[in-house]
Structure 1
Amino acid sequence: MRCPVCRREHRYAATTYPCPCGAPLSPPLQRGVAPEPITHRTWTEDWVVVRCDACGRQDQWPQPELGCSCGTVLRIPVRPVSAPPAPLPLHIPVPPTAAPPRRAFRPVTIRTARDAVTAAALYLKWLGFRDVLQSEARPASGIDLRGPGLVAQVDPTTRPASLRAVECLWLNALSSSATGVYFSLAGYTKDARARGDDLSIPLFVMDLTGTPQPVNDAADELVATGP
């Protein structure tokens, strides 16, 4: 593709992300449409709707971008999803001994990083955690939410959560004798997901509707049984 500012040509391949079902997912690039320079950013323009070919799930994923050597940042066009969004799968296994189903969770639309923290706090309260408190400013520890027996981290960036981030949450939970829960808008790197499984850290992904979805067994168990 060619930069419309300096006319340099670039090769570009879209970043692959892990769908909650486990399949690799890449935003489908729209061929024949020129990239656009990014002159200002908005939350909605930083995300695109992409459908997973493996499970049919539709989620918000980071808008593909490319930095040209002339200094221009280009927004790469993505082929739009033609069908209307499908309902989000609950992905909540209910064992025979589970308590009666909770009321439906009422999410908060995410427009800012602070909204993401608020949505996670509401979800944790819905799961059954009490006295969940938000930090007024993000502390150096990265722990955004605390409650009795609970520490939680919310990653609102467009990058998948890293191995180090998951391990830091686990250490904070261990030192507090608490359950550690991680929420990410952009999913997790492969090694972060594997470490979360090894350490039994509940991992959730969130879309811009503010609805968390479990992505590992520890998160499934937390949803099914509560704290």
Structure 2
Amino acid sequence: MSESVPVRCPACRRERLYAVPAWPCACGAAVTPLLDGAAPPAVVLHRAWAEEWITLHCPRCARPAQWPHPELGCPCGTVLRLPVSGTASVDTGGGDPGAAPAPDSPRARRPAHPLIIRTARDAVTATVLYLRALGFRDIRRADQRPTAGIGLAAPGLLAQVDPSVRPATLRDVECLWLTAMTESARCVYFSLAGYADDTRAAADRLGVPLFALDLTGIPRPVNPAADALDTDGA
């Protein structure tokens, strides 16, 4: 179970409890970053993609992975980035901590600890966790800005995350497909508000996997291409 630690906001001086997140490793363990209690939290004034992530090794299987840097939003409006020690603890869920990592299976690819979606950043983080669970690595922000939402890229893959309240349009999906074609990559679309009927028909014709992001952070396949990706992984 993740611990809760007190954090004092340097702007308003109020103290709040922060629940340290646990991220799902491919071996099935829940990896929790250890905070650096000797260092003060930093106020986030400007965002940079490289600063949004930390690299941790799973204490159970030693796999390295990047995870979202722990952050806390204070009621005064200040966003705090919490210092980490660079190490992690692990919750094996009651299993034998010395046991060998369980092999991946098609239906065990979903993140074991999905992220509740409250913000656009949460939607991107939930998508990254899911893509990693499918087997994609080195996920980063895409070089080209998509027609809507946020673009992500991994070797051989382009993904588009649309956290808006409007359904994804035919143009959104077709532009993603065209961009992926020029880069000889696969593509996949994630939408928080779903898809228009003509969008789904076009995606089926083009073979573009469509996923609906629900607020629990679990991407749901909504067409046959997405079902295949969810089953087969990378």
Q: TM-score range, shorter-chain basis?
A: 0.5 to 0.7
Q: Distance in 2 between matches of 1:217 and 1:100?
A: 15
Which residue matches 1:177? 184
Q: Is the contact made by 2:159 and 2:189 (CA closer than 8 Å) also made in structure 1?
A: yes
What's the secondary structure of 1:151's corresponding residue? strand
Q: Is the contact made by 2:146 and 2:176 (CA closer than 8 Å) also made in structure 1?
A: no
1:52-91 to 2 correspondence within 5 Å?
none
Which residue matches 2:217? 210
The letter for the 1-side match of 2:212 is V
Q: Is the contact made by 2:115 and 2:122 (CA closer than 8 Å) also made in structure 1?
A: yes
Distance 1:104 1:176, change over 3 A: closer
Instruction: Say whether 1:134 aligns with 2:141.
Output: yes
Q: Distance in 1 between matches of 2:187 and 2:214?
A: 20
Instruction: Say whether 1:102 aligns with 2:145.
Output: no
Q: CA deviation at 1:156?
A: 0.5
Q: Distance in 1 between matches of 2:160 and 2:214?
A: 16
Which residue matches 1:153? 160
Q: CA deviation at 1:134?
A: 3.1
Q: CA deviation at 1:115?
A: 1.1
Which residue matches 2:227? 220
Q: Distance in 2 between matches of 1:166 and 1:103?
A: 25
Q: Distance in 1 between matches of 2:225 and 2:160?
A: 16
What's the secondary structure of 1:110's corresponding residue? coil
Normalising by structure 1, we get a TM-score of 0.53
Q: Which residue of 106, 114, 129 corresponds with 2:121?
A: 114
Higher strand share: 2
Question: How many residue pairs are counted as aligned between the two chains?
Answer: 129
Q: Distance in 2 between matches of 1:130 and 1:187?
A: 26
Q: 5+ residue gaps in structure 2?
A: 1-103
Query: Could you tell me the percent identity over the aligned residues?
Result: 57
Q: Distance in 1 between matches of 2:226 and 2:106?
A: 18
Q: 5+ residue gaps in structure 1?
A: 1-97
Which residue matches 1:190? 197
Moved over 6 A (4+): none
Q: CA deviation at 1:103?
A: 5.4
Q: Distance in 2 between matches of 1:100 and 1:124?
A: 13
Q: Is the contact made by 2:157 and 2:187 (CA closer than 8 Å) also made in structure 1?
A: yes
Q: Distance in 2 between matches of 1:146 and 1:131?
A: 8
Larger RCO of the pair (alpha carbons < 8 Å, separation 6+): 1
Q: Is the contact made by 1:121 and 1:134 (CA closer than 8 Å) also made in structure 2?
A: no
What's the secondary structure of 1:144's corresponding residue? strand
